[in-house]
A and B are shown apart, each in its own frame.
Chain A
């Protein structure tokens, strides 16, 4: 690409936005779980995978339309998240490294459980014909479905921001994050806040999974493809919603531009190295969660 033609580059930027939205929607559940509960959830990829399988199962058995599969996936995966939080995570809140490992165990169980139920051959989620085309926006071209993902991501970010910054629940969450004991003395049940947040985070992963199942493929191992990126978004962002939005935007664009200039594989390597260097200077990420000092 030696030509000075601006269009392909602009196209790469538009595409970067789409990649960013995919990484962001993969990371958003992880962000609120890490930001609020402080748990690094290694089973997040499998929550995504469960979302995809939920949509697949509902669609193939009940014939549920795709757009209804999204909230259904949210509900089902949120329920799974709730069970895992109640049954396991809540006992490990003051052992952050152990939660990381326990959730890795959970991910093995979920992955293999799904494999036993659905088999390891790939599945497929159907979407309305209208999503199967592309639109030209001046110089750039993007598929309708990517725009759908972008829109849903924006919607979810807005809804999450509203939930965490404009509602009574959000106030409780922030109170618990600031000081659990103090919040308790105001009658806020930290336990319930954690539980709810974890379930919501899991549910959002479920929504992401339904979308990814359409973009690519439904497989028991599909979650692992997204989870490292999602983690990097959270780490770079520092665990706040704003941080993740910014981090996803930056990394998505960089990936797209690097891929445009070199190739996809090398782009990924460059991105990872850049992130390590970045963390050298901002070890707590772009917008860090405030942590109590001694």
Chain B
């Protein structure tokens, strides 16, 4: 085992993850600029989204181009929760935009959002439930691969259209901007302060650890198996549709959490959060970072969004051109993304002469990517 690729060593992986967690947790110690802190927190949310894509696409082989559904629906739930915090049941019972749309009562489905806890709970549960229903429908019918990708895209369009059309309840294209920050237990969470950053950071660490453990469980193994050959898995006695629905819904739940936190930071939601470009963007983050590596996907999001913010202004008009070309190169030459590149490099190092290269077993070195990473 001396020549095993370090990339596949579980202790090494956990060490790298731990280091990453320490670094992101320490950022507020060095950054006091409210703008930067808020921006980094937003990147953390993009990281969560990339991770959710990595789970269902990288590990489960389910290419989901409609992750904006969970993100967007949850964001609407959170925005309404925060909006209702600024309303008063007696003197000011409905949000201004509803008043302007000639509503006299708060519609029943927004009623639970009077309660902060209830609102956040619904923001998380409703999108996840939708994923369960839609996933069950699609996976039972064995819609898979590109067909599923297109259907998720169509569903995303359908939701965006519906939200636009339901203007009295959603404020249509203008979206909802709650006038004040989220308040929990009587404390305002300043979107530009360290508290908000730490909430996001804690969320990111929690979902990353959870996802990592999940991929290392038996469930994770079955998911990776069905990515390659769902039929074989079926004949081994596993209910493939149920497994696919599970991983799809889990990834949806993570995206929903990201949506909630995002609104906490941005205080705004609109149908643009259900734009196809945004959802496909998530896939690009994960693809470039490495869809088979959770951390790779997260860093992919940081890299691309950071590039968009900081390089974008220099390139201005050519940014999308550069991004598109970069993505093409990654798909063509590095299907496992930048993490896959690292895997190759470490693999090559492990094969260095003098270390008992096991020439009879080249496969052992170039390695099983599947064991979690």
Contacts and interface: CB of A to CB of B under 8 A. Distances in A.
Chain A directly contacts chain B within the complex, with at least one CB pair under 8 Å = yes
A265 B165 contact: yes
B318 A96 contact: no
B161 interface: yes
In this complex, the interface size class of chain B, counting residues with CB under 8 Å from chain A, is: 35 or more
Interface in B318-350: 318-321, 323-328, 331-332, 335
Given A40-B146, A102-B328, A283-B142, A272 B155 contact: yes
A228 B153 contact: yes
Given A109-B321, A266-B165, A280-B137, A228 B332 contact: no
B18 to A, nearest CB: 31
Interface in A85-106: 88, 91-92, 95-98, 100-102, 104-106
Contacts of A106: 324, 328
Contact of B143 (A104, A111, A283, A294): A283
Contact of A273 (B142, B158, B331): B158
Contacts of A266: 161, 165
Contacts of A111: 320
Contact of A115 (B146, B317, B332): B317
B286 to A, nearest CB: 10
B324 A269 contact: no
Contacts of A275: 151, 154
A104 B137 contact: no
A232 B143 CA distance: 14
Contact of A269 (B150, B158, B318): B158
Contact of A97 (B143, B149, B317, B326): B149
Interface string A276-287: 110111010000
Interface in A220-264: 224, 228, 231-232, 235, 263
A135 interface: no
Contact of B146 (A96, A108, A109, A228): A96
Contact of B63 (A97, A109, A113, A283): A97
Contact of B149 (A40, A95, A109, A294): A40
B23 interface: no
A98 B145 contact: no
Contact of B325 (A109, A269, A273): A109
Nearest to A109: B324
B327 A283 contact: no
B327 A101 contact: yes
A23 B284 CA distance: 28
Given A112-B318, A232-B154, A104 B327 contact: yes
Contacts, number: 124
A112 B327 contact: no
A101 B155 CA distance: 19
Interface centre among B134, B317, B331 (most CB of A within 10 A): B331
B157 interface: yes
A2 B149 CA distance: 41
Given A100-B146, A106-B328, A235-B150, A268 B161 contact: yes
B276 A231 contact: no
Contact of A101 (B151, B158, B162, B287): B287
Contact of B320 (A97, A108, A269, A279): A108
A116 interface: yes
Contacts of B151: 235, 275-276, 279
Contacts of A104: 280, 284, 327
Given A266-B165, A269-B165, A276 B331 contact: no
A108 B321 contact: yes
Contacts of B238: none
A32 to B, nearest CB: 16
27 contacts: A40-B149, A88-B328, A97-B63, A98-B331, A101-B283, A101-B284, A101-B327, A102-B327, A102-B331, A104-B280, A104-B284, A105-B324, A105-B328, A108-B320, A109-B320, A109-B324, A112-B321, A232-B150, A235-B150, A265-B165, A268-B161, A269-B165, A276-B151, A276-B155, A276-B158, A277-B137, A280-B138
Interface of A: 40, 88, 91-92, 95-98, 100-102, 104-109, 111-113, 115-116, 224, 228, 231-232, 235, 263, 265-266, 268-269, 272-273, 275-277, 279-281, 283, 294
Given A40-B150, A280-B140, 6 more contacts: A100-B146, A101-B287, A109-B328, A232-B150, A272-B157, A276-B137
Smallest CB-CB A-B distances: 4 pairs: A108-B324, A272-B158, A105-B328, A109-B324
